[in-house]
């Protein structure tokens, strides 16, 4: 089990603290459902800061590559992650609901025991494509030879079923 990085979010932002490192893909349990294989690692940086208006923010950068499943051919698809996100820190639920109404800013509830690894995993999952696919020329389904003799019985069987109805 990886060591968790716990911070006081508002203090982290107020002091302009920073933390960076690498995280193994195998340590990100919720991400596993999206991956094909879990070897490799991602680089991350998290910085606390104050924006122009003096509001506390966390700047998150996550970089690396992961393997997803192509939804067209079901093959392996390398996906490059380059997540760069600024999250406004809300002091309470009321402030968070106001941030949610503002579609131009992403917010998160600041807690004195914020788990940064969970936050990083959330941001990775949110950045994933809804339906990952190879490009048209890269997808193996586009290069299948449908005139192959081994495929003909399948289509012949389908044609017979169609005739029955």
Per-residue pLDDT tens digits for 11-35 = 999 999 999 999 999 999 999 999 9
**Cα 3-118-14 angle, rounded to 5 deg:** 90
Position 150 pLDDT exceeds 60: no
Position 158 pLDDT exceeds 80: no
Rounded to two decimals, what is the model's pTM?
A: 0.79
Share of the chain above pLDDT 90, in %: 59
Per-residue pLDDT tens digits for 83-130 = 999 999 998 888 888 777 776 678 899 999 999 999 999 999 999 999
Contact by Cβ (8 Å): 49, 88 = no
Half-sphere exposure of 67 (CA within 13 A, CB side): 9
Name the one residue in this structure whose structure tokens are 């393997």: 67
Cα 137 to its chain centre, rounded Å, is 25
Sheet with 18-24, edge to edge strand ranges: 18-24, 41-50, 56-69, 76-90, 106-109
């Amino acid at each position: 089990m990886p060591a968790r990085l716990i911070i006081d979010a508002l203090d982290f932002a107020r002091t302009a603290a920073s933390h960076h490192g690498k995280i193994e893909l195998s340590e990100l349990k919720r991400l596993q459902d999206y991956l094909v294989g879990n070897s490799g690692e991602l680089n991350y940086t998290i910085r606390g800061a104050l924006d122009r208006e003096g509001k506390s923010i966390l700047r998150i950068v996550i970089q690396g590559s992961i393997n997803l499943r192509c939804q067209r051919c079901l093959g392996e698809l390398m996906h490059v992650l380059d997540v760069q996100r600024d999250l406004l820190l809300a002091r309470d639920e009321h402030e968070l609901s106001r941030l949610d109404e503002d579609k131009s800013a992403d917010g998160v509830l600041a807690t004195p025991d914020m788990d940064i690894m969970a936050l990083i995993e959330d941001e990775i999952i949110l950045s994933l494509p809804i339906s990952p696919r190879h490009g048209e020329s890269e997808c193996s389904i586009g290069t299948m030879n449908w005139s192959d003799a081994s495929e003909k019985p399948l289509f012949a069987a389908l044609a017979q079923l169609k005739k029955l109805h």
